[in-house]
Structure 1
Amino acid sequence: MHSAFEAAPATPAIPITFATKSTWDAIAADLPSPARQFATANGFAAKPGAWLALPDADGKIAQVIFGLDSEGGKFRDPFRPGQLPGLLPPGVYRFANVARDQAHLATLAFALGCYRFGRYRKSEPPDVRLVPPDGVDIADIARMANAAALARDLINTPSNDIGPEELAQAAQKLAQDFGAKFTCIVGEDLTRQNFPLINAVGMASSRAPRLVDFTWGDPSHPKVTLVGKGVCFDTGGLDLKPSSSMLIMKKDMGGAANVLALAQMVMDAKLKVRLRVLIPAVENAVAGNAFRPLDVFTSRKGLTVEIGNTDAEGRLVLADALALADEEKPDLLIDLGTLTGAARVALGPDLPPFYTNDETLAGTLSTCAKQEHDPLWRLPLWPAYDSWLDSKVADVNNAPSGGFAGSITCALFLQRFVEAAKSWLHVDIYGWTPSAKPGRPEGGECQAARAIYRLLSDRYGH
């Protein structure tokens, strides 16, 4: 169980009563007169995120009142209870009046709000625990919270401490924890084993590129393959990023981090899949042997790729990994990557676009994303834009000029490397929370993994 939860406390848990502006008067009327007067004296009005500890006759906390977003407002954040761990005094608490349909997300938000990144300075998780509400699947919620912590830890760790080798080691540890079969192709072996695009992107770094590959589960079960972009730092290569754009490029392995989080959930839940995880782990550095604009490489699939821009490197490493995954004809092939600024311009940091031609998959994923408050928005694999990838000297250009529809053209580029998979899903995540929100501290974020896990759990968990 996640450390945020306590199933059987030694002393009675302190009740947390949720209130909105519209329900506060009725809640206040039911309070003992001294507690009601105390709330009035403190000016409590059940504003979203406001809280008040009501004392008993001995001065101890009798209950906590916490303000939620009003029903029917322009935006109601179901993760509002994620603020509680950062507000409450140490102790064991319970939700006194959480609505049945809100209990899952409120409990998950509480767990996610306990996360702290403490690798470089002391930052202990809050000493607060929650007695889970009746009827929630606490094992599933703990699974999601632990996976989110894994993704956040990996993304938040700076690149001097997590390069391609360390990312591969994190994947290997996860594989070993669940008895998965792990292999890793390193450096020049990538060229010898026909992964030229992965090697091209990573060869300028003193930290050798590599391809992580691990498998888990019964080979007779449906094949689900996850591919995650593992660019541990992205300078942009010779098409160098401005310094302002490099400031959070430690997060450019966010696709890999979230694939590992998703894989952890799948394996921990023992879903009935034959899971394969592929992570091309590289650093896009600048050196004399860096790949150049207008270079042409023959990909694993055999397509020749002209380099329109060295800062469109994520799609290159994913292309070789997707080609490998596709050779096995998986039932479901999923890739995650922090790929385009265009996706952020279109949809902002909190709403990653996803792409698929599988209508059933698209509808189900949208439902799961809403259910888990892990927002996703479908964008089209618009065929008319495919010609924008044309090259005069090669089969395809990795970064068409013009600047239009950058996330869509990236997806169309990747689609060229997927033919045999029965179904394919591509998600262009951000992997970062720019400013803190309830349950989501500023920094690395677990995006899309919970929604996809819910889809896989519903499909393969029985």
Structure 2
Amino acid sequence: MFDHIIASEKSSNPIRITAVTEADFKNWLGKQTNGHQAWVKSSGYEGKRGTHLALPGEAGVYQTVVISYVDDGKTQWDFAALPGALPAGEYILTDDVTENDAVCEKAVLGLYLGGYRFDRYRKSDASTAKRALFAIPANEAAKRAENIARGIGLARDLINIPANDMGPEELEAAARRLGEEFGAKVTSIVGEDLNKRNFPAIYTVGKGSDRDPRLIDLRWGDESAPKITLVGKGVCFDTGGYDLKPSSNMLLMKKDMGGSAQVLGLARMIMAAGLPVRLRVLIPAVENMVSGKAYRPSDILQTRKGITVEVGNTDAEGRLVLSDALTEAVAEDPEMLLDFATLTGAARVALGLGLPALFSNNDDLANGLLENGLALNDPMWRLPLWDDYRPMLDSKAADMNNISGSPYGGAIIAALFLDRFAEGAKAWAHIDLMAWNPSARPGRPEGGEAQGIRAAFKLIADRYGK
């Protein structure tokens, strides 16, 4: 994950990282020695945000790194390039960072995320044995940053693991490891027991695979505390079913369990912070495969809520498995219900890869997520649950169809489908996300990504924290 960048012991002579705001750079430069001013000028360094420069000390060995930043929602990314850019050595943040609680949290988060790597399948490389190591401050701000980073790292790791090693059973094992770490109770309903326990949509979608479908259920916290329920789409691989995806669209489908990775990462943040809530995590974990047992276009499915659904497209399977999980979640009447899902390509067409679509039946919840997302540079964009589109899900043979007959408004149509099963929820939000970085930027490597969970954690901590 990122433990390889953390200094195990304090160095007697670490290289100091001093941080200067972009606006204050000229003032800072004027206070430096003539030699350092000349060095900065000859280096062409202008103190732009996210850039850094090493300043030489005695005998030509540099003793300080200056980094420029802007104190806003993107501050963590200003620091995120350092783990990969600095030469081997031990580094420490100076007091101007560590004594500013807000900046320290962002800086440490940036270092952690900048040091993240997924190397489960790579042989160790001797050339990387020597690297930049960072002494992490022993303060509350750094602890908060580590908690957030480990939640994000967990989500990234789970998404990055290929489907041959991350099927429904392995996803359950990951949830159980997390539960064991924090004393949560984890149960599951597996295979044909899903039908017996009235989770027919999950069973029907997953029965086409040789790997048994399941509903994973994690519970943690005082039963009398406010109930927070998280639901994550856990389609561990999606071929599209009989409405088969082309190979180019199937290549990244190991990430179709990205919603489940988000809720496990968010759950880790909540439990590690010890928030006084009653947490529940529900993950319908399946593979959507082609076989003699797989469901077909035009099949009519039963759901836990009793609504029958005609299958207009087997590649719209995520909403089907979520329908049973949402019905179960609403039955407990939680104060807040959040679902995360890599649900529609339409949301990506509308908003791109880096901006999840947010739908909600509660303006206060939606506004809280949006405001925290903007403040933390973990953004979402709200789309409407547009009533006039509801008839587009009508079916002549069942209570509803799982798709519309129109190529337009696909993200809204999918959210309206889920809304039927989230009916009665006090405050429900649906986040339709990509869960993947197609290219690398500082702190955001190519591969699996957490989206929206920092904003959600901040909202939950602010509303229900100690």
TM surpasses 0.5:
yes
In structure 1, what is the equivalent of residue 90 of structure 2?
Answer: 91
In structure 2, what is the equivalent of residue 351 of structure 1?
Answer: 355
Provide, for residues 37-89 of structure 1, a one-character-per-residue CA deviation record: whole Å limited to 9, x for no partner: 233333323344433211101232221123447x99xx966522111111112
In structure 2, what is the equivalent of residue 42 of structure 1?
Answer: 43
Contact 2:167–2:211, Cα closer than 8 Å, also in 1: yes
Equivalent of 1:302, from 295, 299, 306? Answer: 306
Matched, 1:79 2:101: no
Matched, 1:14 2:18: no
**How far off its partner does 1:169 sit?**
0.5
Provide, for residues 77-130 of structure 1, a one-character-per-residue CA deviation record: whole Å limited to 9, x for no partner: 652211111111231221565576544323312211111101011377954214
Equivalent of 2:326, from 322, 326, 332? Answer: 322
Contact 1:232–1:281, Cα closer than 8 Å, also in 2: yes
Contact 1:79–1:438, Cα closer than 8 Å, also in 2: yes
For residue 58 of structure 2, give the secondary structure of its aligned residue in structure 1.
coil
- Could you tell me how far apart the structure 2 residues matched to 1:36 and 1:357 are? 57
Cα separation, partners in 2 of 1:433 and 1:77, compared to 1, 3 Å: farther
Cα separation, partners in 2 of 1:405 and 1:303, compared to 1, 3 Å: same
Provide, for residues 380-412 of structure 1, a one-character-per-residue CA deviation record: whole Å limited to 9, x for no partner: 111111111111111111111212111111111
Contact 1:13–1:94, Cα closer than 8 Å, also in 2: no
Matched, 1:52 2:61: no
In structure 1, what is the equivalent of residue 436 of structure 2?
Answer: 432
Contact 1:205–1:286, Cα closer than 8 Å, also in 2: yes
Contact 2:105–2:144, Cα closer than 8 Å, also in 1: no
Provide, for residues 193-251 of structure 1, a one-character-per-residue CA deviation record: whole Å limited to 9, x for no partner: 11111111111111111110121111111111111000111111111111111121111
Identify, as 1 or 2, the structure richer in helix: 2
Cα separation, partners in 2 of 1:179 and 1:357, compared to 1, 3 Å: same
In structure 1, what is the equivalent of residue 264 of structure 2?
Answer: 260
- Could you tell me how far apart the structure 1 residues matched to 2:121 and 2:244 are? 29
- Could you tell me how far apart the structure 2 residues matched to 1:66 and 1:232 are? 41
Matched, 1:128 2:127: no
Contact 1:335–1:426, Cα closer than 8 Å, also in 2: yes
For residue 463 of structure 2, give the secondary structure of its aligned residue in structure 1.
helix
- Could you tell me how far apart the structure 2 residues matched to 1:171 and 1:162 are? 12
In structure 1, what is the equivalent of residue 142 of structure 2?
Answer: 138
**How far off its partner does 1:138 sit?**
2.0
- Could you tell me how far apart the structure 2 residues matched to 1:372 and 1:51 are? 22
Q: In structure 2, what residue type is equivalent to 1:174?
A: L
Contact 1:332–1:423, Cα closer than 8 Å, also in 2: yes
- Could you tell me how far apart the structure 1 residues matched to 2:270 and 2:189 are? 24
* Structure 2: tracts of 5 or more residues without a match: none
- Could you tell me how far apart the structure 1 residues matched to 2:412 and 2:6 are? 42
- Mean Cα displacement is larger for which, 208-217 or 87-96? 87-96
Contact 1:15–1:96, Cα closer than 8 Å, also in 2: no
For residue 427 of structure 1, give the secondary structure of its aligned residue in structure 2.
strand
Equivalent of 1:207, from 201, 205, 211? Answer: 211
- Could you tell me how far apart the structure 1 residues matched to 2:337 and 2:22 are? 46
**How far off its partner does 1:23 sit?**
4.6
In structure 1, what is the equivalent of residue 456 of structure 2?
Answer: 452
Equivalent of 2:200, from 186, 196, 201? Answer: 196
Cα separation, partners in 2 of 1:21 and 1:270, compared to 1, 3 Å: closer
**How far off its partner does 1:337 sit?**
0.6
Cα separation, partners in 2 of 1:68 and 1:116, compared to 1, 3 Å: same
- Could you tell me how far apart the structure 1 residues matched to 2:440 and 2:68 are? 18
For residue 258 of structure 2, give the secondary structure of its aligned residue in structure 1.
helix
Provide, for residues 5-63 of structure 1, a one-character-per-residue CA deviation record: whole Å limited to 9, x for no partner: 66983435433244577654433332222222233333323344433211101232221
- Could you tell me how far apart the structure 2 residues matched to 1:106 and 1:18 are? 9
Contact 1:431–1:445, Cα closer than 8 Å, also in 2: yes
Provide, for residues 329-370 of structure 1, a one-character-per-residue CA deviation record: whole Å limited to 9, x for no partner: 222211111111111111111111111121111222222212
In structure 2, what is the equivalent of residue 414 of structure 1?
Answer: 418
- Could you tell me how far apart the structure 1 residues matched to 2:41 and 2:185 are? 61
What's the C-alpha RMSD, in Å, of the aligned pairs?
Answer: 2.4
**How far off its partner does 1:374 sit?**
1.2
Cα separation, partners in 2 of 1:96 and 1:38, compared to 1, 3 Å: farther
Contact 1:13–1:131, Cα closer than 8 Å, also in 2: no
Q: In structure 1, what residue type is equivalent to 2:220?
A: W
Contact 1:105–1:372, Cα closer than 8 Å, also in 2: no
In structure 1, what is the equivalent of residue 230 of structure 2?
Answer: 226
- Could you tell me how far apart the structure 2 residues matched to 1:212 and 1:404 are? 33
- Could you tell me how far apart the structure 2 residues matched to 1:281 and 1:101 are? 38
Matches within 5 A, 1:177-188: 177-188=181-192
Contact 1:83–1:438, Cα closer than 8 Å, also in 2: yes
**How far off its partner does 1:430 sit?**
1.1
Matched, 1:339 2:343: yes
Q: In structure 2, what residue type is equivalent to 1:169?
A: A
Contact 1:185–1:210, Cα closer than 8 Å, also in 2: yes
- Could you tell me how far apart the structure 2 residues matched to 1:102 and 1:401 are? 50
Equivalent of 1:241, from 230, 245, 255? Answer: 245
For residue 236 of structure 1, give the secondary structure of its aligned residue in structure 2.
coil
- Could you tell me how far apart the structure 2 residues matched to 1:415 and 1:270 are? 31
Cα separation, partners in 2 of 1:398 and 1:295, compared to 1, 3 Å: same
Q: In structure 2, what residue type is equivalent to 1:9?
A: K
For residue 224 of structure 1, give the secondary structure of its aligned residue in structure 2.
strand
- Could you tell me how far apart the structure 1 residues matched to 2:395 and 2:75 are? 46
Contact 2:233–2:284, Cα closer than 8 Å, also in 1: yes
For residue 185 of structure 1, give the secondary structure of its aligned residue in structure 2.
strand
